[in-house]
Structure formats: structure tokens, C-alpha cells
Structure 1
Amino acid sequence: MLLLQLLLLLSATATNSATASSSSHDGDEGALLAFKAKISSHSGVLDSWNQSTSYCSWEGVTCGKQHRWRVVSLNLSSKGLAGTISPAIGNLTFMRLLDLSYNSLHDEIPASIGSLMRLRRLHLVQNTLTGVIPSNISRCISLREIIIQNNKGLQGSIPAEIGNLPALSFLGLDNNSISGTIQSSLGNLSRLAVLSLSDNYLEGLILAGIGNNPYLGFLQLSDNDLSVPAELGKLQQLEVFALDENMLEANNEEEWEFIDSLVNCSRLQGLDIGFNRFSGKLPTPLVNLSINLRWLQISNNNISGVIPSDIGNLVGLEELDFSINLLTGVIPESIGKLTRLQQLAFASNYLSGHLPSSIGNLSSLLQVYAGDNSFEGPIPPSFGNLRKLLLLGLPNNSLTGLIPSEIMELPSISMFLDLSNNMLEGPLPLEVGSLVYLRQLFLSGNNFSGEIPDTIGNCRVMEFLLMDGNSFQGSIPATFKNMTGLTVLNLTDNKLNGSIPGNFATLTNLQELYLGHNNLSGTIPDLLGNSTSLLRLDLSYNNLQGEIPKGGVLKNLTRLSIIGNNALCGGIPQLHLPKCASFCARKNRKDIPKFLRITIPTIGSLILLFLVWAGFHHRKSKTVPKKDLPPQFAEIELPIVLYNDILKGTNEFSEANMLGKGRYGRVYKGTLENQAIVVTVKVFNVQQSGSYKSFQAKCEALRRVRHRCLLKIITCCSSINHQGQDFRALVFEFMANGSLDGWIHPNLDGQNGHRALSLSQRMDIAVDIVDALDYLHNGCQPLIIHCDLKPSNILLNQEMRACVGDFGIARVLDETTSTQHINSSSTIGIRGSIGYIAPEYGEGLAVSTSGDVFSLGITLIEMFIGKSPTDDIFRYGISLHYYAEAALPDKIMEIADSNISLHDGVNNSNDTRHITRTRECLLAVIQLGVLCSKQLPTE
């Protein structure tokens, strides 16, 4: 009897356990299906969410190891989701990560989220969420990160209950519509390291009790209406303090006291108080801030007084911006001690005196802008030592003397050189022709004289050239025809003579041409009337004569000025000019016998037709038809492959042969029997929007390239499949070792089927990548911009050498576009992958070679530290670039990928010389990655 009772008890226990397991199984699966039901669009991402497979294998879903049927992570970031967040999300009670960032989710954050007591990270960045942050979020007691940024519909105040989350280290609520005050309870967050609340409608004191926080290192409160407490000096870990674009005021020493307190923050690297209402004298303790301070921004205030003479104490500065204030006095000579300085701005103040020659010591300078002041005297020749300088702006001062030839010989200056509205004089140096990379040159409003040197024609990429308001003499150089990048040319109000060069019409980018108030004579070239690019033309107050052409801009009264030329005639009727007299040329044409006027064109046409026919048949006799190839490959000798060959070679596109899938199709391993080779086949999904454009882009790019470090195309197929549908595929050489991404990011169990890459292998791969990019940008004509360089698009062959692939969104520069930037109009939108996209693309700028260099920099850093730019530790204000840069130079071994095999056959891995060389190697390559991934393309 006792035995029977024991058996019944065990049976009941097992039944209850099975029931509980089944209940949790059904509960998590049901919650996920309820979540899917509220999603109105997902671009196929949730197609795997069906009951034919285990929900633990659904895309974006991760289940636990101990509780293997419980969902511990739901990561659907950047998956194109649209719809609302289902309240059923609160039933996933074992969840630790919820990331729905970068989608189009709307409506409120469900209050049921408060049920997720195990949740550690909540990421809801860049959606269109509305309503308020649920106050019961405080029940999620394990939360470490709350990042809900870029949801402008999110309103209300910051819940005071957030201050009860003991483990919270990152609170990011930027770019919402949150109002009210910053609750004092947030001062209880003793583990808070990042507080980022920029671009909201917050007001009042920044944070009571903020000084009690021992970990706070990043305080970003820009673009609100806040005031500053004086206890900031207690924040010993503070590295970044950004208060720009608030309504902050300080008029006396007491109100500037917070600067005094910041002197105690020895780790401070960034201080931004720009765009506020600070006034009074610049506080002297500013020069006693941390020597680790890298950027100091106080622009757009009403600060007066002088720049402290000891500004040179801040030896760590890389950026210094005092622009748009009321500063007086001179720039101290000690500025020359800031040898790390890259950006220097003093524009729009009342500064005077001479520009200090010690600025020439700042060999790292990239940008100098000191316009709109009262500087006088000559431009120091020592500025010619700034060999990295990208822009120099000194307009609207009282500078005198000649332009130092040393400035014209700066090899790096490319953005602009602005010396306009000064009192500079003398001839333009012949060395102006050395500015071969310069895009904008402004010399207006000076006293320059002499002839414009012919060497200016060397400036082929220059877009803006403004030389108006001077005393230049002589004729307009014929070499202007070489300046194919010119968009705007202004030579108004000089003493130029001679005729208007007809070759201006060959400048196909020229949109605005201003030649008024000179002594030009002769006729208006007919070719100007044929220009399709010219939008504005000013020829006023010259000595021009003869008939005005009637084409192009010369028929648009609102964009044409010819007043002050009394000998002009003809043109469009609206000009009301006298008719022109008959020309001898017309009369002479009538004297030609009629039979010749008919016969000559006829014979010419027949000859032309014969040449076309002969050329066609000659080419036809030598060309083998390739019906299965798209027109882009007509000029390439590729072996023909039929649809049936690809179908057979991939075992009818079986799942076993599939290597991966992407936005525009799937990739298979296959065998071409007629050539007895193993290949990779990319089959395009022709129903997917943009697929055809991607196929065309790949064809256009790959037909032009031949390089050992670029993925080799074997052939392509453009045909019809068995269902009578369009079929398009590209066939590449098979890369036996897969993508670089799989080698540097092993899966969660540490198994990716590969051994770890050694340091020397990674260096070899890095060299291959750079070789490939150098070829695309500089070695092929026209150049190609890849637009999507990242580890998953870098493939490794049997010998572990790298080949760059996937040219699906590449851009080819044709001969009519600029050598650096190309037309940005595209149906594809922002080009690239999140984390690797150059910042300027997000601002709408054209794709460029600089964008590829940014992606290269991120890829290099990722290769050697083993973290991707989309890793969860990298969020707003903290990036892979910043993470790597902060470790330079002393902590480089701390951030290096722990999976790197450092020995490379060295028996004694503790050998001091080997360790030293390893560190030097890592330092050099990560420094290169940091330099390539700077925020500005000009850097």
C-alpha cells in the first residue's frame, strides 16, 4: 500500500512538472504569436514565426540554457517592423533583453512591460512611439539599461520611480518630447554611468544629489532648459559634460562657480556649454581643467573679456571653439603649446592684433576659422607648416600684405581657403596651381592686382572660385577650361580685358558665371548659348558687341544681365535690342551653287552609313552571341552558363546547398559540371523591390574590376526559369573559408567551426582589404564606391586571403561626375549597413570615397578588438570608434580581441620583445582604424 501511494505521488509530481513545462511552453509561444499579430508589416522577417518549427528557433528569439523553453531575448532591431507593441510582451517573464530599435512601431509602450522582472536591457530607439514611459517600469528591478531615444511622440515626465532601479547604469531618453523636471530620485541611482537626456523639454536644476554618484561619466543634457548645480566637482568619473543648447545663464563669478568645481574632475575629456546665455568674463579657472580635456566648446554665448594667457595649459585639447561671443584682446602665444589641436575656431568676436605665428607649431591642425574679427598685419608664413590643414578661414578682418606662397603650397587643404574681405594685396602667387585638391577659394574684396596666373587651371576639382572686387588685370586665362569641377566663377568688378573665352561652355558643371564690371570686349560666344548647365550669367557693364545668342541661359531674362553693353544686338525679343545687320557669311553661303549644297551633305551621309555598316559587320564576325548575358557583360569574355546548369549544380537550390540569404536573394554552393569547378551562386529574388537594381549595380561594378583582392565573377545568367519567370544570378568563385565576420565573431557557444585567427593572419587580411579599396578608388577607371564594406562582405579563400565582395549597392563614377562626390539621388536611400554607414550619409550628403574609408576604419577596429559596432554596449554617445580611441595608447592590450592567437609560432609567448612588438602592431592598426572612422569626412 505504501509503495502504491509513493508511485501515485511520483506520478502526480511528474504530471505537474510536465504541465508546468507545457504551460510555460504554451505561454511564451502564445505571447510571441500575440506580438506578431500586432505587427502590420515586417518585410518577411517574421515568416519563420509559425508553429511548424520551435519558437526558440524563430528569427530574433533566443531561449535560455537552463530554462530551455523560456524566451530570454527578443532582438528585432532594424527589421522593418510596423505596428504596435502587444501587451502580451509582459508574459515573457524570463526575458533579459528586449530590443525593438530602428523600426516603425507606434502607439504606447504597454504597461505590462512592468512584469518583466528579469529584464536587464530595454532598447526602443528610433520608432514613432507615443504616450508616456510607464511608471511601473520600476518593477523591472534587474534593469541596467533603458534606452528609449528618438521617439518624438513620447511625452510626459521622467517617472520618479526610475530612481528605484538599483542596477541601472545607462539611462538614455534623448530626442523625445519629455517635459518637466529631472526627478531628484534619479540621484539615488548610485550605479548610473551614462545619463543622456538631450533634445527634450526639461527644465529646472540638472539633478539634486548628482554629486553622490561615484560612476557617472557621461552627462549629456543638451537642448533643454536646465540650470547647473555647483556640486559637479564631486563626479570623479565624469568624462563628458554636454549642456549645449539650453537657456543657461552666468553673469558673475558666483554663477560661474560650476567651472571651478569641474577643475576637480580629473578624467574630464569633453565640456560643451555652447548655445546658451552665458555672459560676463570668461572665468580664469578654465585653464586649470583636466589636462585630459579633449574638446572645449563655449561658442554662441555673450561671453566677454580676454582669452586667458595660460590657455596653453590644456595640452590635451583636440578641439577648441570660442566662436560667436564678445571676446576682445589678442590670441595668446601660448596657443602654440596645444600640439594635439585639430580644430581651432575664434570666429565672430572682437579679437584684434596679429595672428600669432605660434599657430604654425600646431602640426595636427585640420581646421582653422577666425573670420569676422579685427585681426591685422600679415598672415604668418608659419601657417605653411600646417601640413594636415583641410580648411583655413580668415575672412572679414583687416589683414594686409601678400599671401604667403607657403599657404598656397599646403598639400592637404581641400575644403576651402577663405581670405575674402581683407586688405591683402599684390599678385596671386603662381603657387595657387598647387591647390589641386581645393574645392572652394574665396579671395573677394581685397586689393589683389596683376594677371590671374595660368597655373590656376591645375585646380581641376575646384567648385567655387570667387575673385570679385579686386584689381586683377589682363585677359581671362584660357586654362580655366581645365577646371572641370567649377560650379560658380565670379570675376566681377576687376580690370579684366580681352574677350570671353568660348571654352567656358565646355565646363559642364558650371552653373553661375559672373563677369560684370570689367573691360571685356568682342562678342558673346555662341557656345555659351548651347550650355545646358549654365543657370546664371552676368556680363553687365563691359564693352561687348554683336549678336546675342538665343539659347540656354541667354533666353532667360530673370537669370541674365547684359546691361551696360551698348553695342549688343539681337537676342530674344524680350531684350528689346535693335536687330543685327546682315552678315557677309550668310551672303557668301547663298553664292555656293545649289548642286553642291545638296551633293556634299548627301555624299557625307552615304560615307557615314557605309562606315557604320562596315564596322557593324566586322564586329559581328568576331563576336559570339551571348543571349543569357545582360548587356553590361557584352564586352567581357565570359563562359556561357544556362539556367539548367545552375539548377542542376545547386541540387535544385536545395536547403542543404544554401550558404545564406540577404535582402535581394539567396546564396548557394554549387558545381558547374561543364567546367568541373565549385562555385558560389547568388540568385536574385526578382519579386523583391530593388532586386533588379541590385543585380544591375553588381553587373555594372563587377564588369569593370579585375583585382586579386576582389571577389572574382565567373559568369552570370539572365534567363527564364521553369515557371516562365525572370531568373537572374551571378556566379562567383567559391571562397572555402566563408566570411571574415564568422571568424571574428564566434557564436554564443564559442564554436564557429574555425580556429582563432592569428595576429599575422588578421594583418594579412587587413592589407588585402586596403589593397582592394585602393584599387576601387584609385586603380580602376571610372572609380567605384563600394558603399557597404563590412566583415560579412569580406570573404576568405583556401589560403586565408581576403576578397571584398557584394557590390549590390556600389556606385560607379562616370566621366561626367566629380572626382570625389557623385549624384546622391537613389531609390535605395542611405547606403550601407547600420554601424558602418558614414555619419555624413545620414545628413543627406552624397556618397563618396570618404564614406568607404569610414567603413574601413570601423572594420579594422572590429577585426582587432572583436566587437561589432552594433554590439549592445555601443549606444548613443558611446560608439566603437570612441571605445577604441579612449584606449589609445596605454590600454590597447585591454581591448584587444581575447580570441586573437598572439603566438604565431613563437615558443615563448612571454618573450618581452615579442609582447612589445605585438602591442606596437595592435596600437598601429587600431590607431589607423580610429583615424579612418573620424566623424567628419574631411578628417
Structure 2
Amino acid sequence: MYNLSSLWSFHVEGNRLHGSIPDDVGSKFFPAMEDLSFANNRFTGGIPSSLSNLTTLTSLQLSTNGFTGLVPRDLGLLEADDTAGWEFITSLANCSQLLQLSLSYNYFGGQLPSSVVNLSATLQYLYLSDCPSISGSIPQDIGNLVGLSILGLANTSISGMIPSSIGKLANLVQLSLYCARLSGLIPSSLGNLTRLNWLAAYSNGLEGTVPASLGKLTKLYLLDLSANYRLNGSIPKKILLPSLSYSLNLSHNSFSGPLPPEVGNLINLNQLNLAGNQLSGRIPDTIGNCLVLESLMLDDNMLEGSIPQSLQNVEGLQVLNLTMNKLSSRIPDALSSIAALQELYLAHNNLSGLIPSSLQKLASLHTFDASFNDLQGEVPNGGVFANLTDISVTGNSKLCGGIAQLHLAPCSPHTLSNSKKDRSKSLMISLTTTGAILLLVSVLVTIWRLKQRPKSQAPPTIAEEGFQRVSYQALLRGTNGFSEFNLLGKGRYGSVYKCTLEGHDTPVAVKVFNLQQLGSSKSFQTECETLRRVRHRSLIKIITCCSSIDSRGQDFKALVIDLMPNGSLDGRLHPKYSIANNTLSLAQRLDIAVNVIDALDYLHNHCQPPIVHCDVKPSNILLTEDMSARVGDFGISRILLETADRTGQNSNSTIGIRGSIGYVAPEYGEGSPISALGDVYSLEILLLEMFTGRSPTDDMFKESVDLHRFAEAVFPDRVLEIADPTIWVHNDANDEITRSKVQECLVSVVRTGISCSKQQPRERMPIQDAAMEMHAIRDANLMFSSSIAVEHGVLIGHASTFSK
């Protein structure tokens, strides 16, 4: 083989080869070698130092073997200890085109050498996370690595201060510094990283104030500085950025002073956590501007005054924690307007008056804690208060009544009379106010109609006026008698039709359940129950439902949902007619993958109780007008009322095969209970299908070959061979740079897919890690596409100048 002087790629990974690699492999042979892999075999002995002579080498893979001894000082890959094994970092400075260096999840030890800053300025990704034995400090000249877009130093023993030169990394998109031993001040130079969208530095020893310069990070969607404990001063108004959409977490620090009214700028935020600080003053009414908040944690502070009425505007709020503050006055009735509320914590405050009976209508509420206040009167015992799984009103000596397990004294007639008077007074005020408002609205509407009568009035759209009730007859007319012309698709339990309801211009989709099919009625109930609990931008939105009698006197059940104009993902991956504008680009596939994985991460980790979809597949992924994805069809989903540790004990209710052939997790066939890891398996089979274009039920997959093994057999170096060829409709396959970048992207995606579709659940990548991986892959591809677009723009500009 040494005679093959023009050989540039040699791969034997994933076999059972053994023995040692010849010492002279790189001395005078293979002068053109660029890509060399011995990974995943049984090679032993030392790593030949002669490999460093392969000056054309761009990729070398030696992982998962039995190599012994130290890594050669001019080369390194597997392990290091103090200074003895780190010399290879110095030699890597000679790799002038190095784009990525990942040492994560290895046994590196000792101090990170300062020579890491001498790596190529083209380096885009530097991953040192999850190596707990790496110590030392972040080199002062880290700013030399000006090409970095992702820097990962999380879960290490790196200590010392964050150097100010980090502000020179102008291309940085993601900075992960969490769970290390960093200390000192947060450098104000971080404000120069204007492309940053992810900054996580929680669980360190950072101290001092948060620099206001972070307010310049207008693309940031996650900021997490929690559990540093010594960060202090007031919360800077400028960091309350509208761009923050996922999470702002400043909890468990020493912030003081009032919560700025600029908190109302967080109009796109899902999670706000300021717990465990020393915040004082009132909760500003502007908190009601945060319309998409799902979790608001303000517990363990010194906030005072009343609970803002404006919280009623945050209709999707699921968790509200105001425990251990100095809040006073009554529990406002406005909280009963938050239909999605699941957990309400008000303990250890100075609240007084009655527990509002209107809270009984909160159908999603399962946890209520108002202990240790000064509440009085009768505890509601209807609605959700009749069967709350977790209710506590301890430490309110003036309360009475309620459900039996509260063990409260029965209410005296005097108490009941006072409670009724109090409620009657509130009701009278409410009715009087409501009546006045209705009268005023009626007068205004009448005047407006008189003024508008000569003109044709366009009916309100769905976006302007949501449906509260819809009849069978309305659906019948809107679908033209459920005609084939309006049929969008059929599933296991029913059919979906396009429907235009009277008085509404925007069409909707109607899912009509076939109640003759066994299990369809249960599917309808499950989907209603699930969809009323969830609220996420990547989940299909339910508008209303209909449970009625059809024209033949039979039961009729249907869901009215948003219409997805671009159909399902299945229709795009496997179209009946292949045309260019019906295919998906690489960027679209990455966006869809991120949407789906974010939706499942939300269901598994941010819903209480968690929800398992159980049927993740392309036909259940629907596409909006801008080609973003919505996960639908919750007909066989499972709400995990038990904790993960007790799920196995509940096997009589969760056992059985749930899902579709090709996507269902293998453990379900063995009688294992439903779990989130089942969804992870289905998700990543979907991921492999999206980027290979091959269905897991393809005829080529027989006996021991399946989509997972099919992808694994060519991974990582031949992924282009299995890539969906329609990707190249949108990318230039003849451009070497583009082809290389697409291959790099596909390798990362397929790696994630393989990691999450392992046979054994415990070996699968957690959904949170998969989400982080996919976000990083998508962002890297987006940056590359943007750079190409800019480059083309410059070239076009030059051409225009020349032609003039």
C-alpha cells in the first residue's frame, strides 16, 4: 500500500482490526494523504510520531482503540496530563487551516496550555467542555482566536478571571462557561460580542455588578448567570433585551434594589428566573407586557406590595412562584384569567383576605401553595380544589373548610356569612363595572355600525377573533359537506379537511375523528387534554373543538386547528411529483429539525407533568407558510403523571407499543413503559430520514439492516453517499468549499442521529444535549451561508463597478 503515492483518503474505521500502526507510516509514505482514519478498531501500542510528517493531513481519527503510552509531543488526540501530554497543542499551531478542535468528553488533565491561543485564526469551534480534570485559567490572549464562533469551556475545573481580550472574538455566537471555577468580575468587553446569541456562565464564583455593556448583545436569546452567589448591585435595565426569547436566569445571586419597569421589554421571553436574590420594592405592572412568559420565578426576595393585576395578560403562564417575599393585600381574581396556570406558589408572604373562588376554574392547576400568610374564610372545595394533587394552606389560622385532607376546622355560619358578604360585595362591584363597560361598548359598536353601514364590512379574521364555539353544521358548510375536494389527508383515527367558516376569511383545518375506529374517541380526549396543557411556538395550535351529533344522529367529534399551507414534512421528503420548488434546502431541513427538537424538549422538560408524544414521524410534522415546523397529532400522547423513578411501577397504564412502524422505540416491543427516551429514538430516526431522504420502512431495509445501521455504516467519511440528492438542488455540488461545508454539516447531523437512535435507551443522547447540538449545527451553517452571500455581494459590486 505504501506504493500508492497519490492516495489522499484512507478509512478503515468500525472494523475489528488489531495490532499496531507501523512506526514509519508517516516517514516517507503517503505524501498526498489528507484524510486518515483508524478509529473504532482494536489497535494497540503507541501512536506513531511519524504521523506528524503527513503535512497535507487535514483529518486524523484514532479514537476508540487501545493505544497506550503518551501522545507524541508533536501530535495529540486522546489524553493528556499536566504538561507531559499537551505538547501537541503547540504543534497544532502549524495547521493553518484548522477549523474545529474538540477535546470534549475525554480524560484530559492538568493545566490548559497557553499555547492554545496560537492555534489558527481560522479556527471556528473550540470545544473543551466536559473534561472535569482540565484546570488552569483561560489564557489572557484568547482574543487571538478571532475566527471562533463557538467556545465551550463548561464542566471543567478552569479557574481564574474571564480575560478582557475575550471581547475581541467578534464572530462568537455561543459562549459556554458554566459549571467551572471562574471568579472575579464579568469583563465589560463581552459587550463587543454583538453576534452572541448564547451566554451561559452559571455555577461559578463570579462577583461584582453585571456590566451594562451586555445590553449591546441584541441577538442574545439566552443569558444565564445564575448560582454565582456574589453577583450584586441592581439588575441593569439595558440587559432586559427584547431579543431574549428562551431564558433569562439571574437567580441565586445577590442582586438588590427594585425590579426595573423595563422588565416589560421582555416581550418574547419564555422563562424569567430572578429567585434567590435581595430584590425589593413592588413588582412592576409592566410584567404584564411579557405575553409569552411560561415560567416566572421571583421567590426568595424582598418584594412587597400587591400582586400585579396585569399578570392576567400573560395567558400562557404555567408556573408562577412568588414564595418568600413581603407581598401583601389580597390574592387577585385576575390570576384566574391565566388559563394555562399549572403551579401557583404564594407561601411565606403577608397576603390576606379570601382565597378567590374563581381559581376553581383553572382546569390545568395542579399545585397550589399559599401557606404561612394571613388568609381567612372558607377554602374553595370545587373545581380543581376538589382534587388538587398538591395543595398547602398551612399556617393560615383563620382559614376553614376545604377538602378533607387539609384537616381544617369546619366554617362557622358567621364565617360563611362574612365570606358570602365579601364575595357578594366583590361580585356586585364586578357586575356593576362589567355592566357599565358592556353598555359603553354596546353604544360605541352601534355608533360605529351606523357610520360603517354604507361600506362593505370585511368579516373578522381568526387572528382578530378566536372561536369559542363551533357547531357541526358550521363545519359541514365550511368543508362543503366534508368533500373530497377539501380533504387534506387521512390518518389512523380520522381525516383532516380544509374549512372556511362563515364570517372568517382565513381557512382552518378540521380533524374529524372516525368514531367507528377503535380507540378514536380516546384519541380525541387525549389530544384535547394534551393540547390544552401546552403552549409552544413549534406545537400545532388548537383553536377549538366540536363534540356534537351529525346529520345521521351519530356522535361527531372534531378538532379545529391552524391550517398549515405547506402540508406535512412527509410530503416534502417523499413527494409524489419531484419538482425543484417542492424540495427542501439544507438550511430548511436544519430549521425544521431545530423546531421539532425544541418542541420535544419543551414537552419533556418544561411541561409539568411531562408529556411524551409517542408518534414522532414526518406526517405529523406540519409546515407553515415560512416553512417552519409545527408538531401535531397528540392522539396517542402520554401525560406522565408519575415521576421518572416511578414510571416503571405504573407499567399497567403505560406499557405497550405506541407509535408507527419504523419510528417506534425498540424497548416498547419488549414491554418497557412509555418514556421520553422513546420520543428521542423516534426523533432521531426522523432526523436521519430528513437528511438521507430514505424512509425507515424503505424496501431496502430488511432483516438486520435498518436506517440507523445504514447511516452508521458510512459514518463519518462517506455521508455524502447517503445524503438526499435533492439537497444539491439548492447547493452547488461542484463548488469545493460548499461541498466540504455541506459534508461537515451532514456529519454533525448524522452523528446526532446515530447517538439518539441507539437500541438501548440509556445510551441515547439526552434531548437537551441534542437540542444544543442541532442549534449549534444550524447556526454554523447559517454563518457560512451568510458569509457566502456577503462574498457574492462584494463580487457583484466589483463587477458592477468594472462594467461602469
Same fold (TM over 0.5): yes
Aligned to 2:11: 171
* Structure 2 residue corresponding to 1:277, chosen from 85, 107, 117: 107
Aligned to 2:290: 459
Contact residue 786 and residue 809 of structure 1 kept, 8 A: no
Distance 1:460 1:820 in 2: 20
Deviation at 1:210, TM superposition (A): 3.5
The verdict on how the C-alpha distance between 1:218 and 1:634 changes in structure 2, with shifts beyond 3 A counting, is farther
* Structure 2 residue corresponding to 1:419, chosen from 229, 240, 250: 250
Deviation track 1:254-273 (CA, whole Å, cap 9, x = no partner) reads: 32111112111111111111
Aligned to 2:52: 211
Matches within 5 A, 1:596-607: none
Question: Which residue identity lines up with residue 298 of structure 2 in the other structure?
Answer: M
Are positions 1:405 and 2:237 aligned together?
yes
Question: Which residue identity lines up with residue 402 of structure 1 in the other structure?
Answer: S
Q: Secondary structure at the match of 2:371?
A: coil
Aligned to 2:312: 481
Distance 1:321 1:566 in 2: 53
Deviation at 1:502, TM superposition (A): 3.0
Q: Secondary structure at the match of 2:280?
A: strand
Question: Which residue identity lines up with residue 333 of structure 2 in the other structure?
Answer: G
Are positions 1:541 and 2:384 aligned together?
no
Aligned to 1:30: none
Deviation track 1:30-56 (CA, whole Å, cap 9, x = no partner) reads: xxxxxxxxxxxxxxxxxxxxxxxxxxx
Matches within 5 A, 1:432-581: 432-551=263-382, 554-555=385-386, 559-581=390-412
Deviation at 1:202, TM superposition (A): 7.8
Aligned to 2:491: 692
Question: Which residue identity lines up with residue 458 of structure 1 in the other structure?
Answer: N
Deviation at 1:353, TM superposition (A): 2.0
* Structure 1 residue corresponding to 2:132, chosen from 301, 325, 347: 301
Distance 1:517 1:378 in 2: 29
Are positions 1:634 and 2:477 aligned together?
yes
List gaps (5 residues or longer) in structure 2: 422-471, 515-536, 542-559, 585-617, 638-658, 664-681, 697-723, 751-776
* Structure 1 residue corresponding to 2:166, chosen from 315, 335, 339: 335
The verdict on how the C-alpha distance between 1:288 and 1:717 changes in structure 2, with shifts beyond 3 A counting, is closer
Distance 1:838 1:216 in 2: 28
Aligned to 1:289: 119
The verdict on how the C-alpha distance between 1:257 and 1:430 changes in structure 2, with shifts beyond 3 A counting, is same
Distance 1:524 1:249 in 2: 62
Distance 1:787 1:379 in 2: 45
Q: Secondary structure at the match of 1:359?
A: helix
Matches within 5 A, 1:757-836: 782=562, 784=564, 786-788=567-569, 790=572, 809-811=620-622, 827=659, 834=688, 836=690
Deviation at 1:782, TM superposition (A): 3.7
Matches within 5 A, 1:587-598: none
Aligned to 1:876: 747
Which structure would you say has the larger Rg?
1
The verdict on how the C-alpha distance between 1:274 and 1:528 changes in structure 2, with shifts beyond 3 A counting, is same
The verdict on how the C-alpha distance between 1:477 and 1:860 changes in structure 2, with shifts beyond 3 A counting, is farther
Distance 2:582 2:117 in 1: 49
Distance 1:184 1:553 in 2: 73
Distance 2:179 2:62 in 1: 26
Deviation at 1:509, TM superposition (A): 2.4
Contact residue 259 and residue 285 of structure 1 kept, 8 A: yes
Distance 1:509 1:717 in 2: 25
Deviation at 1:811, TM superposition (A): 4.1
Q: Secondary structure at the match of 1:250?
A: coil
Q: Which structure's relative contact order is higher, taking Cα pairs within 8 Å and 6+ residues apart?
A: 2
Aligned to 2:196: 365
Deviation at 1:312, TM superposition (A): 0.6
Aligned to 1:863: 730
Question: Which residue identity lines up with residue 696 of structure 1 in the other structure?
Answer: S
Deviation at 1:279, TM superposition (A): 2.7
Deviation track 1:62-85 (CA, whole Å, cap 9, x = no partner) reads: xxxxxxxxxxxxxxxxxxxxxxxx
Distance 1:328 1:821 in 2: 42
Contact residue 418 and residue 442 of structure 1 kept, 8 A: yes
Contact residue 633 and residue 703 of structure 1 kept, 8 A: no
Deviation at 1:810, TM superposition (A): 4.9
Distance 2:476 2:13 in 1: 51
The verdict on how the C-alpha distance between 1:802 and 1:273 changes in structure 2, with shifts beyond 3 A counting, is closer
Matches within 5 A, 1:221-236: 230=71
Matches within 5 A, 1:832-847: 834=688, 836=690
TM-score normalised to structure 1 length: 0.50
Distance 1:718 1:579 in 2: 47
Q: Secondary structure at the match of 1:448?
A: strand
State percent identity of aligned pairs. 35
Contact residue 479 and residue 500 of structure 2 kept, 8 A: no
Q: Secondary structure at the match of 2:478?
A: coil
Matches within 5 A, 1:33-44: none
Distance 2:80 2:368 in 1: 49
Aligned to 1:69: none
Distance 2:246 2:276 in 1: 20
Q: Secondary structure at the match of 1:876?
A: helix
Contact residue 273 and residue 296 of structure 2 kept, 8 A: yes
Deviation track 1:486-510 (CA, whole Å, cap 9, x = no partner) reads: 2221111000011222343332322
Q: Secondary structure at the match of 2:288?
A: helix
Q: Secondary structure at the match of 2:256?
A: strand
The verdict on how the C-alpha distance between 1:641 and 1:313 changes in structure 2, with shifts beyond 3 A counting, is closer
Question: Which residue identity lines up with residue 876 of structure 1 in the other structure?
Answer: V
Distance 2:378 2:779 in 1: 63
The verdict on how the C-alpha distance between 1:203 and 1:796 changes in structure 2, with shifts beyond 3 A counting, is closer
Aligned to 2:182: 351
Aligned to 2:88: 258
Q: Secondary structure at the match of 1:382?
A: helix
List gaps (5 residues or longer) in structure 1: 1-140, 142-161, 235-240, 589-628, 643-680, 685-690, 720-772, 814-818, 843-856, 897-911, 920-939
Contact residue 230 and residue 261 of structure 1 kept, 8 A: no
Aligned to 1:58: none
* Structure 1 residue corresponding to 2:150, chosen from 296, 299, 319: 319
Distance 2:191 2:349 in 1: 38
Deviation track 1:624-647 (CA, whole Å, cap 9, x = no partner) reads: xxxxx99966314599779xxxxx
Contact residue 417 and residue 442 of structure 1 kept, 8 A: yes
Question: Which residue identity lines up with residue 732 of structure 2 in the other structure?
Answer: I
The alignment covers a number of residue pairs equal to: 560
Give the superposed CA RMSD.
Answer: 5.5
Contact residue 163 and residue 187 of structure 1 kept, 8 A: no
The verdict on how the C-alpha distance between 1:584 and 1:559 changes in structure 2, with shifts beyond 3 A counting, is closer
Deviation at 1:532, TM superposition (A): 2.5
The verdict on how the C-alpha distance between 1:559 and 1:893 changes in structure 2, with shifts beyond 3 A counting, is closer
Question: Which residue identity lines up with residue 279 of structure 1 in the other structure?
Answer: G
Distance 2:42 2:238 in 1: 50
The verdict on how the C-alpha distance between 1:226 and 1:436 changes in structure 2, with shifts beyond 3 A counting, is farther
Deviation at 1:212, TM superposition (A): 5.0
Distance 1:255 1:230 in 2: 6
Question: Which residue identity lines up with residue 312 of structure 1 in the other structure?
Answer: G
Distance 1:796 1:388 in 2: 37
Contact residue 377 and residue 419 of structure 2 kept, 8 A: no
Aligned to 2:97: 267
The verdict on how the C-alpha distance between 1:426 and 1:278 changes in structure 2, with shifts beyond 3 A counting, is same
Question: Which residue identity lines up with residue 478 of structure 2 in the other structure?
Answer: E
